[in-house]
Structure 1
Amino acid sequence: MSDIKVSVIIPVYNGGQAFKKCLYDVMNQTLKDIEIICVDDGSTDESAQIISQAALEDSRIQYVYQNNQGAAVARNKGMEYATGEYVSFLDADDFYEAEMLEKAYINSVKHDVDICIFRGNKYDASSHQYLSMDYALRFHEIPCNPFTYKDISDNVFHFCVGWAWDKLYRRQFIIDEKLSFQNLRTSNDLFFVFSSLVKAKKIYALNELLIHHRVNNSLSLSVTREKSWNCFYLAANALKQELERIGKYHEVEKSFVNWYVHFSFWNLDTIEGDAYKKVYELIKYEILPSLHLEQYPAGFLSTNYVKRVFDVQSYDCDEYVYEQFFKLRKKAKQKSDDGAKRIKNSKTYKVGKIVLFIPLHIKKWLKRRTK
C-alpha cells in the first residue's frame, strides 16, 4: 500500500491569486501524507510561477504541464501520476478548511468506502458573502450511512450534485472501474461522478462543512456556458449509455429521468443570448422525445416538471418565453423588493424582456397614438 494517503489533483488554467489561495490551503492541510499534483493546462498568467514557488517550499508538490486541453483532460492526466490510497479532485479557485482531507480520509478508511462526500458552501467573489449550499448534499434523502445506490435508487442523481470537488475517491476503485472525465468544455465531471455513484460498493456522507466553492468568478468557464450550450446533453447521454451498458439503467430509471428533466430546465433557466433558443429546441425536439415520458404512469415524473414539460411540448420558443416572462412578472409583483429584484435578475426574466421588447414597445406606441 502507498505511503501517500491522498493524491490531490488540481487542474489550473490562469488561476491567478484564487489559485494561490487554493494551493496554500492544500499545503496547510492537517493531513500531511499527501501529494499535490498541479496540472497546468497551458496557463499564460502567473500560475506556473505560483506552482514553482510553492514547490520550492513543499516537496509534495508535482508540476505537470499540458497544452490547453481543458480541465477534464487535466484531471485524467493527473491520475497518471497519482499514487495515493484516495484521490481528491479540486478546483483551482475554491478554498478549504484545514481538516478537510484528514476528516474525509479518516471516515473513508473507517467505513471502508469507495466514495466519501462532504458538505460545502458558496463564496460569492463579488459580494464576499458565504451562502448556504444545502442542495449539494441532501442528508434527509439518505436512508442509511454508509449506503449504496440501491438504498436510494429513486434518488441517486438527486441527493448530491454531479461535481467532483466535494468528494474523496478510492484510487483503486477509479482504476478498477476505468473511470475517467469526459472531454467536454463544461459538465465534464458529470459522467465521472454519477456513474461512480452507481458503481461504488459503498458511499459515506460526512455531515461537516469542509469546502468553500467560489462563485461569480469572472475567470470561471461556467460564466461563458453559452459557448458550450450542449455539453450537458452530451454528458447526460453518455451517462445513460453507460448505465445501460452495465445493466443498471432500469434500476435507477426514475431518478435518471427526473434528474435529466430537471437538469435540462436548469440549463435553460441559467443561459441567455442565442444559446437560449438552441437549448430550448434541444429540449423540445431531442431530450423530451428521447425520454418517452408518455410511457410512465402518473406520479413517475415529479409534479415540479409536469407543467413545464407540457408547455415546451405545446409552444415554440417565443411563445414559451412569453408565458414564462409574464408568469415571473406577476410573481415579482407579489414579492418583497428583494424577492422581486431576484426574479428580475434571473436569466429567464431577462431573456423574456429582450424577446418582448419590440412587441411591448409597439404596443406602448399604439396606445399613445390612440389617446
Structure 2
Amino acid sequence: MENIEISVIVPVYNVEYYIHNCVKSILNQTFKDFELLLIDDGSTDNSGKICDRYAKRYSTVKVFHKVNGGLSDARNYGMKLAKGKYFVFIDSDDFVELNYLEVLFNLVKKYNVQMACLNSVREYKSDFNLVGKYIDSNNIEGVIDKKKALKKMLIRDGFGVNAWAKIYSKKLFKDVEYPKGKLYEDLQTVPYLVAKCDKVAFSSLKLYHYVKRNNSILNRQLTNTDLTLISYLSILGEYLEKNFPDLIEAFEYRYVSDVLKVLINRAVFLENYHEVLERIFMQNVIFWKNANFNVFLSKREKIQIYVAKNFPRLYKNIIKIVIYSIKVKNNYKS
C-alpha cells in the first residue's frame, strides 16, 4: 500500500459508543484505494482496543496509539505517517455516506485541483437522540477560483472552515500544520490552505454527517482561552488585507458574526460579563463601527450587535432566555 491515493485520518479520543459507526462507514466505501489511519490520542475508555480489533481484521486499517495531545496534534501525527497522495479528515463521532471518498476523489481528478469539498448534514444529539439538524446550502457543481472560495468561506455561503467534508492534496500541507493545543484549529489552517490553491472544486451532494453531542456549545463555559478566537481572527484579517484586500468586508462580517455567536452569546453566564464585553468591543473597534453598513450582516445580526453594545444587561437576559428555551425544547424532544 505504498502508492495509495487517499489517507483517511481519524483522530480518536474517548468515543467508544460512536467509533463503530464512523469506522464502518469508511470501510464500506465504494472507493477502495485508501488507507484508514486511526490515531488513538490517549483514550481512557475502550476506544483504543476497538481500533486494535479493526486493525487485526482489516488490512486497510492502521492504528497508532499516542499520548494525549489534542485534535490538532493527532491530525499532525497522522499526516506524518500517511502514505496517500490526498488527505481526508473525519472526526471519530461522525460518519460518511458510502460514496463519500469516490465523489471527493473524482472532483479533484475531474477539475485538476488540490482541494475539493461537498456538503454536510449537521446532526445535534442529546445522548443518542437526534434533537436538531442543519444541512449545508452550497449549490455549486464545479470549480471556482480561490478568491471566490475564500469569500464563500468568510460569509458562510455553503463552504465551511472545518477540516472535514473536504479532500486535500498532500502537497498543500508542506510547511503547514494544525496548531497544537489551540482552540479553533481549523480557522488557523483551512483558509490558508485554500489560499495556496488556484481553484477549489465543489459538489452539492450531502455526504458527510457531522454529529454534535450533548449540546456542548450551549453547555460549555466560556473561558479566557476562548477569547483567543479574537487574535486568530485578527491574524487572518491581516493576512487577507495584505493578499486579498477585496475580501475585507467579507472578513469583517466573519469577525463580527463569529465573535457575536461564539463569544458574546456564551459570555452571558459569566460573573464578569460586562468586563468581558468591554474587552471584546475594545478590540478591532472599526469592525464594530462598520457593522451597521456591512452588506453581509443580516438585519437581525445588526440589531443584536446594537443591543449588546448599548444595552448589555438587556441583551444578557434575552440570550439567557433563548438558551434556556432551546435546552427545554431539546430535553422535551429527547
**Distance (whole Å) between structure 2 residues aligned to residue 201 and residue 11 of structure 1:** 29
- Three-state SS of the structure 1 residue aligned to 2:17 is helix
**Distance (whole Å) between structure 2 residues aligned to residue 157 and residue 20 of structure 1:** 34
Residue 54 of structure 1: CA displacement? Answer: 0.4
Q: Which residue of 2 aligns with 1:60?
A: 60
Q: Which residue of 2 aligns with 1:263?
A: 258
Residue 95 of structure 1: CA displacement? Answer: 1.0
TM norm structure 2: 0.83
Unmatched runs of 5 consecutive residues or more in structure 2: 328-334
Residue 208 of structure 1: CA displacement? Answer: 0.9
Q: Which structure has greater strand proportion?
A: 2
**Distance (whole Å) between structure 2 residues aligned to residue 100 and residue 154 of structure 1:** 25
Unmatched runs of 5 consecutive residues or more in structure 1: 330-341, 348-371
**Distance (whole Å) between structure 2 residues aligned to residue 108 and residue 32 of structure 1:** 16
Alignment of 1:277-296 (within 5 A): 277=273, 280-286=277-283, 288-289=284-285, 291-294=286-289
Matched-pair identity in %? 23
Q: Which residue of 2 aligns with 1:210?
A: 207
Q: 1:284 to 1:221 in 2, by over 3 A?
A: closer
Q: 1:216 to 1:295 in 2, by over 3 A?
A: closer
Q: Which structure has greater helix proportion?
A: 1
Tell me how large the CA RMSD over aligned residues is: 3.1
**Structure 1: which amino acid aligns with 2:143?**
P
Identify which of 241, 248, 271 aligns with 2:243.
248
Q: Which residue of 2 aligns with 1:128?
A: 129
**Distance (whole Å) between structure 2 residues aligned to residue 65 and residue 88 of structure 1:** 19
Residue 185 of structure 1: CA displacement? Answer: 4.6
Residue 166 of structure 1: CA displacement? Answer: 1.1
Report Cα offsets for 1:231-275 as digits up to 9, x if no partner: 42243233234435xx31413211111011011111132565328
**Distance (whole Å) between structure 1 residues aligned to residue 323 and residue 291 of structure 2:** 33
Q: Which residue of 1 aligns with 2:297?
A: 302
**Distance (whole Å) between structure 2 residues aligned to residue 43 and residue 242 of structure 1:** 37
**Distance (whole Å) between structure 2 residues aligned to residue 125 and residue 222 of structure 1:** 12
Higher RCO (Cα < 8 Å, 6 or more apart): 2
Residue 105 of structure 2 is aligned to residue 109 of structure 1:
no
- Three-state SS of the structure 2 residue aligned to 1:204 is strand
Residue 191 of structure 1: CA displacement? Answer: 1.5
Q: Which residue of 1 aligns with 2:222?
A: 226
Aligned residue pair count: 320
**Distance (whole Å) between structure 2 residues aligned to residue 179 and residue 222 of structure 1:** 32
**Distance (whole Å) between structure 2 residues aligned to residue 163 and residue 156 of structure 1:** 10
Report Cα offsets for 1:260-295 as digits up to 9, x if no partner: 101111113256532882653442222x42x45547
Q: Which residue of 1 aligns with 2:165?
A: 166
Larger radius of gyration, structure 1 or 2? 1
Q: Which residue of 2 aligns with 1:239?
A: 236
